[in-house]
Structure 1
């Protein structure tokens, strides 16, 4: 079965369809940045918030891999 690979509007990159691929994509889209001269506090905080969200998603995914499977029944 051939699965459609979605792309972002105006983007040449395909949108990831697996969680590990999404995490890699987020790492590229929201890299660790150091503040630069001329940046406002708001810009620094916005960039830090984006990166913190990527770290949070990665941490929760890695935590989910450590949980034992919960089976209903």
Structure 2
């Protein structure tokens, strides 16, 4: 989290809160609240992934940091 500075971001993936149908990826509501409190208390800005393009020049990012899909093979 502390690396989210100078143009760097951190992406957190949180599954269902709770996700009772998929217990292996559930996030208990109390834990989710702890996450949010930590982010708030430490003055992190939280946005939805869909809003990231407001902050990142996507074509430039793709040019300088091309995705690497090798690990998906």
Task: Report the TM-score when normalising by structure 2.
Answer: 0.31
- Per chain length, whose mean CA-contact separation is higher, i.e. which structure has more relative contact order (CA < 8 Å, sep 6+)? 1
From the two aligned structures, give the one with the greater helix fraction: 1
Query: Normalising by the residue count of structure 1, what TM-score does the alignment of the two structures yield?
Result: 0.31
Which is greater in Rg? 1
